Amino acid sequence: MADLPPQLAELVDDFSAVGPKDRLQLLLELSQELPELPARYGDAADSMEQVHECQSPLFLAVEVDDAQTVHLFFSAPPEAPTTRGFASIMHTGLDGESAADVLGVPDDFYVALGLGEAVSPLRLRGMAAMLSRIKRQVRALTAA
């Protein structure tokens, strides 16, 4: 898929290379790789934005440093592996990328992951909402 940062493109390739059952397994494996939150985001409900479209409580925060590099932080409960997997895809694929590259990710890139056969459309809307909020926060932080 064109216009994806290298790490995100690699994830898309990984998912599209396997069948639907293996995609779900890959998503569950990724859910275990979501980094812990730094202490400054200890109280996620107060310090982060909630993504209400997600079926499980998911909070995210975006930071953009002086070099216009994006840093992403997610809070999702361990008992919500699908939501954590989506957050992990976003973190692995977009954390450390430039603001311009993050803003350039197609809004529907997640379709190329082929998860439509493995998870419900409602869950996929949650992933779309995550990307939308990340982009909105990046725009707000880079406009200042």
Per-residue pLDDT, 117: 80
> Is a pLDDT exceeding 90 seen at residue 121?
no
pLDDT of 138: 97
Cβ neighbours for 138, distance < 8 A, ≥ 6 positions apart:
62, 64, 70, 99, 102, 103
Q: What is the mean pLDDT of residues 17-42?
A: 92
Return the CATH number at 39.
3.90.1010.10
Task: Specify whether the CB–CB gap between 11 and 95 falls below 8 A.
Answer: no
Q: How many C-beta atoms lie closer than 10 Å to residue 36's C-beta?
A: 8
CA-CA distances (angstroms) from residue 99 to 13, 134, 141?
A: 23, 10, 9
Answer for the pair 60, 76: CB distance below 8 angstroms, yes or no: no
Number of domains in the chain: 1
The model's pTM is: 0.93
User: DSSP code of 80?
Assistant: -
**Residue 105 falls within a domain, yes or no?**
yes
Mean of the pLDDT values across residues 57-83? 95
Residue 1 lies in a domain: no
pLDDT tier at 118, thresholds 50, 70, 90: confident
Asked if the model's pLDDT at residue 116 lies above 90, the reply is no
Q: Helices 6-16 and 20-31 meet at what angle, rounded to 10?
A: 140
pLDDT at 74: 96
Mean pLDDT, the chain, integer: 92
Residue 97 has pLDDT above 80, yes or no: yes
* 67 in any annotated domain: yes
**Quick check: is 47 in a domain?**
yes
Q: What is the structure's pLDDT at 1?
A: 52
Range of the structural domain that residue 118 is part of: 6-143
